[in-house]
């Protein structure tokens, strides 16, 4: 490709709208242009990277027996109602009506649609297992799109779905997908951490998220270097407090205190001059429509996923001010466990170890101080319902866990019969009986891989692509385009590299050398070949993007030397992929 013909409008400065590195660099390199909030045009360089990521995904999914299909983005309401997710998806789903008034949704994910395919087309256990996947545009009405394509309202995703006649078959495919995902991300130049996660509205049982460590990540993960345990913030468990409970006073010494307009922990800390860890924070929820109170230490955050799982409820929503008043008898901001006998009150395991704490009095502008669990109030149960935090101990081996910021690249699930039961998707088993499919699903954010790769590999000058997904593997440029000897040599090398299968660009633009060098570093060509003044001495300059030093190579053997470097870089794509140590599931 001649760069003079390439639509790659590079920018010298960071655009004001961009907040994170990947967004800035994708805009500056001309890969991306914003059309609307969370919606982008992909220009040639950006699309080239996306297509290379897609090809790696196809190779690895095909290698484990995946079959590519394409399902519609426009999906009928009726299928979503069969699974019960039309309402569950809430405002995140784009919804519309056709000219006849029929309600439709733009696909965020395709469990319902692929289950409909299976129940119509797969009839016998002899056809199982089967895995179907697609690479397709998805839509999600994000309330706060951010980070360019890191979290957009329209994005490209690979979603795969497997159908099985028993759990052993699902387990085997799950392990194969786990390894395939490891290889996909490694071939895209990223080492990932597989961590336990909450399935959310997708549902199912076992599931793992594949995370890449990045400062710009929206997720927090907890990793143990001792045993390999890993989980995201929603699912990270840790060792509970141990040892004897602190001594309690035989009789209550609690005292009610006036706290006018002091309804938050921060305000209480300032008002009373007491550290946040001395407060009992009480939160009221509606769990499957019934009110419950949850208690955590004042310096902790309640984990709603853990609470929902512990209570085994389908819905968990914060109570309204009216519901709080009805349940506790007090106003919002002044809730507490005292006087809640006979009502559902659950406390985090840390709360049991608190001494002389402060809590709400279920009365406007009033709190209690010198409150002690078991002496002043009882709870329905002590359960671990707080977020993991820095310094927490691994629940499996007892070592301290590391806390990392990360970006989610993929998520795999064991769905079981969640969708096949609700949608009556059945097959004829070997005993002649009709049974419902056992399912798995496996998603990858294609466009997010592109952004995450940039977050993981860049410097002050621009992007440092792994050669596997770089828009071009190599760029060849004459220093002076008007110099016939330089131009002819550069074109000869360019043509020969193309013949040998190299994805090469030829920067034939009549620009100053410094301008072209800066563009090359910004775009991140893995290999740069410069035909300049050293040509008179039979030499060319070759520089690898990830190295500081330049290499001088002979004109007569240049193509062979360039090919050797490119093949070495290509081989590195597979080195990490081949180090896979097995699925922890």
pTM for this entry: 0.87
Residues 417 and 328 in one domain: no
Would you say residue 150 has pLDDT above 80? Answer: yes
Residues 187 and 296 in one domain: no
Residue with the bigger pLDDT between 218 and 398: it is 398
Cα 484 from chain centroid? 51
Q: Which two tokens stand for residue 11?
A: 């920018």
State whether residue 434 is helix, strand or coil.
strand
CATH number, domain containing residue 523: 3.40.50.800
pLDDT at position 201: 60
Sheet holding 366-371, edge to edge: 255-258, 366-371, 357-360
pLDDT at position 585: 66
CA–CA distances in Å: residue 131 to residues 41, 146, 243, 414: 31, 33, 50, 13
**Considering the domain boundaries, does residue 552 fall inside one?**
yes
* Residues of the domain holding 37: 19-193+410-455
Residues 187 and 263 in one domain: no
**Considering the domain boundaries, does residue 513 fall inside one?**
yes
**Considering the domain boundaries, does residue 1 fall inside one?**
no
> To the nearest 10°, the Cα dihedral for 212, 213, 217, 220?
100
**Considering the domain boundaries, does residue 511 fall inside one?**
yes
**Considering the domain boundaries, does residue 369 fall inside one?**
yes
Q: At what angle do helices 44-63 and 167-187 cross, to 10 degrees?
A: 140
Residues 25 and 172 in one domain: yes
Residues 429 and 472 in one domain: no
Q: pLDDT tens, 424-468?
A: 999 999 999 999 999 999 999 999 999 999 999 999 999 999 999
pLDDT at position 251: 84
Number of domains into which the chain is organized: 3
Residues 40 and 177 in one domain: yes
Average pLDDT over residues 227-244: 87
pLDDT at position 204: 61
**Considering the domain boundaries, does residue 227 fall inside one?**
no
Please provide the distance, in angstroms rounded to a whole number, between the alpha carbons at the two ends of the chain: 45
Residues 184 and 118 in one domain: yes
Contact 112, 423 (CB under 8 A): yes
Strands (E), 270-311: 280-287, 290-297
Banded pLDDT at 233 (limits 50, 70, 90): confident
Angle at 33 between CA 410 and CA 42, to 5 degrees: 55
Using only C-alpha atoms, the chain has a radius of gyration, in whole angstroms, of: 29
Residues 432 and 511 in one domain: no
Strand partners, 231: 196, 222
Give the C-alpha separation, 347 to 359, whole Å.
13
Q: pLDDT tens, 300-330?
A: 999 999 999 999 998 899 999 999 999 999 9
pLDDT at position 117: 98
Using alpha carbons, select from 166, 582, 147, 584 the residue that is nearest to residue 407. 147
Q: pLDDT tens, 393-421?
A: 999 999 999 999 999 999 999 999 999 99
Would you say residue 76 has pLDDT above 70? Answer: yes
DSSP per-residue codes, 436-501:
EPEEEEEEEEHHHHHHHHHHHSEETTEE---TTT-S-SEEEEESSTT-HHHHHHHHHHHHHHHHTT
**Considering the domain boundaries, does residue 198 fall inside one?**
no
| Window from 119-133, 137-151, 545-559, 570-584 with minimum mean pLDDT | 570-584
Contact 539, 554 (CB under 8 A): yes
Residues 168 and 71 in one domain: yes
Banded pLDDT at 581 (limits 50, 70, 90): confident
CATH number, domain containing residue 370: 3.90.960.10
pLDDT at position 326: 96
Would you say residue 199 has pLDDT above 80? Answer: no
pLDDT at position 200: 65
**Is the link from the previous residue into 308 a cis peptide, with omega within 30 of 0?**
no
Look-up: residue for tokens 């983005």?
A: 73
Residues 6+ apart with CB under 8 A from 534: 540, 541, 552
Residues 442 and 485 in one domain: no
Class of residue 261 by CB neighbours under 10 A (exposed 0-12, middle 13-18, buried 19+): exposed
Banded pLDDT at 202 (limits 50, 70, 90): low
Phi, psi of 434 (to 5 degrees): -85, 125
Give the C-alpha separation, 333 to 226, whole Å.
42
Look-up: residue for tokens 């209550």?
A: 252
Residues 567 and 419 in one domain: no
Residues 492 and 359 in one domain: no
Give the C-alpha separation, 147 to 35, whole Å.
14
**Considering the domain boundaries, does residue 250 fall inside one?**
no
Average pLDDT over residues 150-160: 95
Banded pLDDT at 508 (limits 50, 70, 90): very high
Compute how many other C-beta atoms are within 10 angstroms of the C-beta atom of residue 548: 6
Would you say residue 203 has pLDDT above 80? Answer: no
Average pLDDT over residues 174-196: 93
Average pLDDT over residues 79-86: 94
Q: pLDDT tens, 249-276?
A: 878 899 999 999 998 999 999 999 999 9
């Amino acid at each position: 490709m001649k760069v003079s013909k390439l639509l790659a409008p590079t920018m010298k400065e960071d655009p004001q709208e961009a907040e994170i590195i990947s967004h800035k660099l994708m805009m500056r390199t001309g890969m991306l242009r914003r059309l609307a909030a969370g919606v982008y045009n992909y220009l040639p360089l950006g699309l080239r990277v996306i297509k290379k990521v897609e090809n790696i995904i196809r190779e690895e999914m095909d290698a484990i027996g995946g079959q590519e299909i394409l399902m519609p983005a426009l999906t009928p309401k009726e299928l979503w109602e069969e699974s019960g997710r039309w309402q569950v998806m809430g405002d995140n789903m784009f919804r519309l009506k056709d000219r006849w008034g029929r309600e439709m949704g733009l696909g965020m994910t395709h469990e319902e649609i692929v289950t409909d395919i299976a129940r119509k087309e797969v009839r016998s256990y002899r056809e199982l297992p089967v895995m179907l996947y697609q690479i397709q545009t998805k839509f999600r009405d994000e309330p706060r799109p951010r980070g360019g394509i890191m979290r957009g309202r329209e994005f490209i995703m690979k979603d795969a779905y497997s159908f099985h006649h028993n759990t052993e078959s699902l387990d085997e495919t799950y392990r194969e997908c786990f390894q395939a995902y490891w290889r996909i991300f490694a071939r895209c130049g990223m080492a990932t951490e597989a961590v336990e996660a909450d399935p959310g509205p997708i549902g199912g049982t076992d599931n793992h998220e594949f995370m890449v460590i990045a400062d710009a990540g929206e997720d927090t993960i907890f990793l143990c270097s001792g045993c390999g345990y890993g989980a995201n913030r929603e699912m990270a468990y840790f060792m509970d407090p141990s040892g004897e409970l602190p001594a309690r006073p035989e009789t209550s010494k609690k005292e009610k205190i006036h706290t006018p307009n002091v309804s938050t922990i921060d305000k209480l800390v300032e008002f009373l001059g007491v550290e946040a860890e001395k407060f009992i924070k009480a939160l009221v929820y509606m769990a499957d429509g019934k009110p419950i109170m949850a208690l955590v230490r004042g310096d902790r955050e309640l984990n709603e996923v853990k609470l929902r799982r512990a209570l085994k409820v389908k819905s968990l929503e914060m109570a309204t001010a009216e519901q709080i008043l009805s349940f506790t008898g007090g106003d919002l901001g002044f809730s507490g466990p005292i006087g809640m006998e006979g009502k559902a009150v659950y406390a985090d395991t840390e709360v049991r170890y608190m001494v002389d704490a402060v809590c709400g009095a279920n009365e406007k502008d009033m709190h209690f101080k010198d409150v002690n669990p078991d002496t002043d109030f009882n709870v329905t149960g002590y359960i671990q319902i707080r977020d993991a935090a820095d310094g927490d101990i691994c629940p499996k081996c007892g070592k301290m866990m590391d806390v990392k910021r990360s970006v989610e690249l993929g998520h795999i699930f064991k769905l079981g019969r969640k969708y096949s039961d609700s949608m009556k998707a059945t097959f004829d088993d070997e005993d002649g009986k009709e049974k419902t499919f056992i399912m798995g699903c496996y998603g990858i954010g294609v466009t997010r891989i592109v952004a995450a790769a940039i977050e993981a590999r860049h410097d002050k000058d621009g992007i440092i692509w792994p050669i596997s997904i770089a828009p071009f593997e190599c760029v060849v440029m004459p220093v002076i385009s008007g110099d016939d000897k330089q131009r002819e040599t550069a074109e000869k090398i360019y043509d020969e590299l193309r013949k040998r299968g190299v994805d090469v660009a030829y920067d034939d633009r009549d620009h100053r050398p410094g301008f072209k060098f800066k563009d090359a570093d910004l775009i991140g060509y893995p290999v740069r070949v410069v035909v300049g003044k050293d040509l008179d001495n039979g030499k060319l300059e070759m520089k690898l993007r990830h190295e500081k030093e330049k290499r001088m190579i002979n004109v007569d053997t240049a193509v062979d030397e360039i090919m050797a470097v490119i093949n070495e870089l290509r081989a590195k794509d597979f080195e990490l992929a081949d180090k896979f140590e097995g699925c922890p599931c």
